[in-house]
Amino acid sequence: MIAGRVLQGAGAISGVAIATSADLTREDQRTKAMAIIGSTIGVVFGVSFVVAPFLYRLVDLPGIFALTGVLALGALAVVRFAVPDAPARDQPRGPIPWKTLIAAPELVRLNVGIFALHAILMAMFVVVPVAMVRTGLAAGAHTWVYLAAVAAGFVLMLPAMVGPLAGRERPVFLGAIALVTAALAILALGLASLPAIVTGLVIFFTGFNVLEAKLPALVSRAAPREATGAATGIYSSVQFPGALVGGAAGGALAQYAGFPAVMLSCLLLAAGWLAVAWNMGDFVAAPAPAPRT
């Protein structure tokens, strides 16, 4: 299993996909393109909670892995035959050193953000399923709670993507982090109440979906043009240590300090992220539309 995950991770191409999207879109349309990518990730993550139990009963765990392989081959065909080549562009400078990208303040803020978001997600789901069982909801019914929460979160995030808030990058971004923080506070205080858990999940997935859409767009905007691929590769890679730390730390805290300690830690991490993100630079401002000729 470990060897398979290592091989799968070596083939992860989300950083390349983000960089390619940046190359194929005008700057004033890039946020929309990234929003589609990020929203798709968020929605599919939620849908997986709903579909996975049915797939498990239908094809068992080996079948799920086989289906993943088939989908990967389908994606390979899409990239080969449906994705156009990125236009050639001038590169006035040589390659930018990795340490420069890793240490760039604005990129650090965004990388810290995606690390924190995925750590919170993994730690939170150490607690939430068990908490719902303790409120009396059977495990088999969790699918519908997740489906409702993700669907409601997706609908509620639409104004930030295509509505009147679409061009207000900084307040929307900070507001999404604040929503995640508020959701964690509700969950921390309401683990014994099913309505509180559902409310917290809806608010969480609203903020989560916005952040999954906004973060890659901001990375592509903050990165030097000639190093977009490297910057988005670093950004995409940081997600997985975040998931590792969140799952491991969440499990340890749940075992030795209890569920409230897990939720309090997530809340503090989200609040710290909000503080780090507060002084983000002017690059978060939406660019003016390019003139058409």
Instruction: Walk me through the domains of the chain, giving residue ranges and CATH numbers.
Output: 13-87+98-280 (1.20.1250.20)
193: left (phi over 0), alpha (psi -120 to 50) or beta: beta
Shortest CA distance to 211 belongs to which of 135, 270, 290, 267? 270
Q: How far is the C-alpha of 127 from the C-alpha of 250, rounded, in Å?
A: 8
What's the pLDDT score for residue 94? 61
pLDDT in tens, 87-119: 666 555 566 777 778 888 888 889 999 999 999
Percent of the chain residues topping a pLDDT of 90: 33
pLDDT tens, 191-235?
999 999 999 999 999 998 888 878 887 887 787 777 777 888 888
Largest Cα span, the chain: 64
pLDDT for position 293: 46
Q: Which residue has the higher pLDDT, 290 or 201?
A: 201
Q: Does residue 72 have a pLDDT over 50?
A: yes
Q: What is the mean pLDDT of residues 133-137?
A: 92
Reported as half-sphere exposure (CB side, CA atoms, 13 A), residue 228 has a value of: 22
The model's pLDDT over 256-272, given as tens digits with 9 standing for 90+, comes to: 999 999 999 999 999 99
Q: Is the pLDDT of residue 287 over 70?
A: no
Averaged confidence pLDDT in the chain: 83
* Total H helices, total E strands in the chain: 10, 0
Please report the pLDDT score of residue 276 as a whole number: 86
The confidence score (pLDDT) of residue 288 equals 47
pLDDT of 36: 77
Give me the half-sphere count of Cα atoms (radius 13 Å) on the Cβ side of residue 141: 8
